[in-house]
Amino acid sequence: MTNALISRLTEELQTAETDGTYKKLKTIEGPIGDKVWLKDNGEVILLSSNDYLGFANHPEIVSTARDALLSYGASTASVRFICGTQDVHQTLEKDLAEFHGTEAALTYSSCWSANTGLFSAITSTGDVILSDELNHASLIDGIRMTAKDVVRKVYKHSDMEDLEAKLIEYKDAPSRMIVTDGVFSMEGDIAPLDQIVALAKKHHALVVLDDSHGLGVLGETGHGTAEHFGVMSDIDIFTGTLGKALASGTGGFVAGPKAVTETLIQKSRPHLFSNALPASVAAAGSKSLELLSRHPETVQALQEKAKNFRIRLKELGLNPLDGGSAVVPVIVGETATAIRLAGEMLKKGIFVTGFGFPVVPEGEARLRFQVSAAHTEAELEEAAQTLKSCLGGGD
C-alpha cells in the first residue's frame, strides 16, 4: 500500500520535472532585502518577496526580537490557553486592535491558521458565507471547514451584481458574511471595498477582509485596502499576516469585535491546538506596527515605485495586469513558459517567481513581480529590461 503510494508520487514528480512544472526550493544565504545572495546564483535582485516595506532585516525589528529572545526565551512551548500567553502577545494584540480600530485582536501562528480557524468557530446553522472566487487558498480552506449546514457560496471575482444577487437570494439567513481579500495575491488588483461595504450595509451583512497584501501597502498611512477606500470603520473583521509588509517573522491575526476574538479563544482549533508565536516574533510585530506608524513616507515611496514599475513595463510593451498594489503580474501563457522565463531571469540576476496551474488558471501562467520600498528605481529598471530581453524583445 505504502509502496504503491510512494511509486505514484515519484511518477507524478517525474512528470512534473519533464513538463517543466517542478518547483525547486532555492537556498538564500543571508537576510532578505532588495538583493539576496542565492547559494547557486550569487547576488540577485529580489522581486519575489512580500517584504513590501523593507522591514525583513530592519535593525530596530531585529534588535527588538533579539532583546525579547533574551528576556522571554525561545518558545512558549505551549498553546495559548494552556500556558502560552506572555505579556508581549497581549501587547501585540492591543496594538493590532488599535491599528485596525477594532475592539480586540487575536494572534495566530500564521494568517493561514487565522483564516482556517475563523469561519468554523463563528458560524452556525443556516449562516451564509459569500466568498470572492479569487480569494486566497487559506480563506477557501477555512470556509470549507465550516459545518455542513452553513451555506457557502462563491461570487464572481469582484462582481458586485453577482454578490448582490446572492445577498438577496439569502436575505432570510440568520447571518450573511462577505469575505474578500483586499489585494488579490495572484492578480495584484484591489477589491472594490467601497462597493462591498455599501452592499453589506444595504443587506445587513458583515464584511471579513483578509488584507495580507494590503496592510503596509495601501492607504496614505499603510492601513491597507480599507484606508485606501476610506471604509476602515466599516470592516467588521480583519485578518492579516505579520509575515509580509510587517515582516516581523511570522504570524497572523484576526481583529474585530471582542465577541469574535473571545469566541475564537474558546473554539478556534488552530488557536486551541497549536503553539503561540514565539515572544521574539510578537515583540517584533509590535515594533513593525510602530515603525509603520512612524514612517508613512516609506508607504508612499513603495506606492510610487510600484506605480513607476507598472508604467515602465507598459512603456516596454510588457503589459502588466492592471492594479494599484505592489503585486505586478505579467501573464506569459503556459506554466512551463513561466517557469522557464523565471529561470532565465534568475541567470541574469533577477529573482522573480513564475506561477502556473493550479495556482492560477490554465493558460494564464505568469511572472509575479513584487515591489518593495527597499528597491531602487535602477533595480526596477533592470528588472523590466531583463524581462524584455528574456521575452525576446531586446537586451
Ligand X SMILES: Cc1ncc(COP(=O)(O)O)c(C=O)c1O
Residues 6+ apart with CB under 8 A from 327: 183, 184, 185, 186, 187, 188, 213, 368, 369, 370
The closest alpha carbon to 177, from 231, 223, 132, 224, belongs to: 132
Q: How far is Cα 340 from Cα 134, in angstroms, rounded to an integer?
A: 25
**Smallest gap, in angstroms, from Cβ of residue 186 to ligand X?**
9
Active-site position among 89, 100, 136, 213 = 213
Which CB atom, from 106 or from 384, has the smaller least distance to ligand X? 106
**Smallest gap, in angstroms, from Cβ of residue 183 to ligand X?**
8
- Regarding 241 and contact with ligand X (CB under 6 A), the answer is yes
- Regarding 271 and contact with ligand X (CB under 6 A), the answer is no
**Smallest gap, in angstroms, from Cβ of residue 196 to ligand X?**
16
Between CA 156 and CA 329, with CA 137 as vertex, the angle to 5 degrees is: 75
Annotation says 267 is catalytic: no
The closest alpha carbon to 186, from 331, 30, 295, 53, belongs to: 331
Annotation says 244 is catalytic: yes
User: Which parts of the chain fold into alpha helices (H)?
Assistant: 2-19, 59-72, 87-100, 111-122, 137-144, 160-169, 193-202, 225-228, 258-267, 269-272, 279-294, 296-315, 335-347, 377-390
Site for ligand X in 121-140 (CB under 6 A): 136, 138
- Regarding 116 and contact with ligand X (CB under 6 A), the answer is no
Which CB atom, from 272 or from 359, has the smaller least distance to ligand X? 359
User: In what helix (H) or strand (E) does residue 209 lie, and over which residues does it extend?
Assistant: strand 206-210
The binder of ligand X chosen from 86, 146, 180, 212 (CB under 6 A): 212
Cβ neighbours, 10 Å, residue 366:
27
Site for ligand X in 137-196 (CB under 6 A): 138, 181, 185
Query: In sequence order, what are the beta bridge partners of 151?
Result: 128
Site for ligand X in 73-112 (CB under 6 A): 110-112
Active-site position among 35, 100, 136, 244 = 244
The binder of ligand X chosen from 93, 210, 364, 379 (CB under 6 A): 210
Which CB atom, from 191 or from 279, has the smaller least distance to ligand X? 191
Residues of this chain that interact with ligand X (CB under 6 A) are: 110-112, 115, 136, 138, 181, 185, 210, 212-213, 241, 243, 252
* Catalytic (active-site) positions: 185, 213, 244
